[in-house]
Structure 1
């Protein structure tokens, strides 16, 4: 009995220490940015972001840019030279702000939007120069990281979407959206319109041009066998849709 109590006590202490560690990591970093995303084009190929230190200690921020590609619903990130950021390392004192410049080397018109991610990472205060990062051990304790979208947009943006619904073999229903335009679409929320409105997914999903995203309905409040009504909120507005439910698998393309 005493042995069991000792084990439970040890588990409790470990859990408490872990919780405190998580709390300390959560509150270790405290910086924000304005704006939270950037759109560039060949006519407006530069922008600035204000980085604000809301904490009580100086913040060391590293800035990096990666190419952002979607394939089969998965995000892929790769180094890029098409978008640049300066400076790459900032020291911001408490209550102060600094600006970083973001721009593109793209000079020719494009017909389809290109996407990137700007990563702003708060590093330990021992990091003061870019060379310090290379001299650190392989694992650096990251205090806070913000991941911001950067887009290079065509002069003429086309934002179109196609929606489908299907019955699945496991008895559920899937809803699929394909972006058939030339610019991204941000899906904020999908609701099922049955006897009452049921919010299926507060998703905040970006769907890039010629890419698709699928959502599975696990709860089905009085949905008919042949059609489903949904309300979709996106960054281009809100719309109510009546979708015919196909018995077949949704087409991959």
Structure 2
């Protein structure tokens, strides 16, 4: 029976490839059912490997591939680049109905960041492949190599290698900014750990909610800048405080006013 599968993952800017990747993807599937756990991998600097479990909850045999990409943020946008700092073994799997198989994600020597630097960030892409896909489909690009190939389902799993010595929490500094395309919300993360942002509220001086974004808004990686537009109304320019969940904890920050046009 045909069903719809909903997969949440971050919007990524993928250099040299056509077609935007949506934050919410709705894709068809016929009987196969790929599940992946956990949904986050965190390595200590000395940790050699973590396990990622792939499950087939459907009624047909499925094939999957697992690839690792370095995850950066440039110009306030997410970017994925090929990386061998983490290796997935095996990279290809065939899983019969009701079975599961573990993929080892291995930290190579020298992959851990220097003590003075922030944690390193990665995305592990797990793709369910159509039965017609060739065995050589794997490629060092997020979109894959085989012309015309359509993945049945994709999971994008965040993975991080901690900086170890001198590790600290995320340190966020928020401001509003006027641009030619409208009002933007901007934050700098000067800490050496990422921040997962959700449930944002822009507050006026007297406590009025001027704008609200419910649910996951994305990550701000260590040492990086992130920008959001959201179609912010002009009234949001009067906000003086921002409230949100940061890594699952309720947090509030002062919000610098918009006084610069880029």
TM-score (norm 1): 0.76
How well do the aligned residues superpose, as a CA RMSD in angstroms? 3.2
8 Å Cα contact 1:231-1:241 kept in structure 2: yes
Superposed CA deviations along residues 207-248 of structure 1, whole A, max 9, x for unmatched, are 112211223462366x684x5232121115211234242423
Q: Residue in 2 aligned with 1:26?
A: 28
**Alpha-carbon distance between aligned partners in 1 of 2:90 and 2:44, rounded to the nearest angstrom:** 21
Asked if 2 retains the 8 angstrom alpha-carbon contact of 1:189 and 1:201, the reply is yes
Query: Whose helix proportion is higher, 1 or 2?
Result: 1
Shift, 1:188, TM fit: 1.4
Classify 1:40/1:87 alpha carbon distance in 2 versus 1 (closer, same or farther; 3 Å): same
> Which blocks of at least 5 consecutive residues in structure 2 are unaligned?
6-25, 140-144
- Contact kept in structure 2, 1:62 and 1:123, CA below 8 Å: yes
Q: 1:234 aligns with which of 232, 235, 246?
A: 246
Change (3 A) 1:126 1:200: closer
Pair member with larger Rg: 1
- Structure 1 runs not aligned, ≥5 long: 1-19
Q: Distance in 1 between matches of 2:150 and 2:221?
A: 32
Aligned length: 226
Instruction: Tell me the alpha carbon deviations over residues 119-175 of structure 1, each in whole angstroms, 9 at most, x when there is no partner.
Output: 111112245x844769x9622232111111111111142221111234x37796433
8 Å CA contact 1:191–1:231 kept in 2: the answer is yes
- 1:243 corresponding residue in structure 2: 255
Match in the other structure for 1:7:
none
Matches of 2:82 and 2:180 in 1, distance apart? 40
Asked if the contact 1:42–1:106 (Cα under 8 Å) also holds between the matched residues in 2, the reply is no
Answer yes or no: is 1:116 the counterpart of 2:122.
Answer: yes
2:69, 2:83 within 8 Å by CA — same for their partners in 1? yes
| Map of 1:68 onto structure 2 | 71
- The TM-score normalised by the length of structure 2 is 0.73
**Which residue of the partner structure matches residue 172 of structure 2?**
161
Does the CA contact (< 8 Å) of 1:187 and 1:235 recur in 2?
yes
Secondary structure of the 2:50 match is: strand
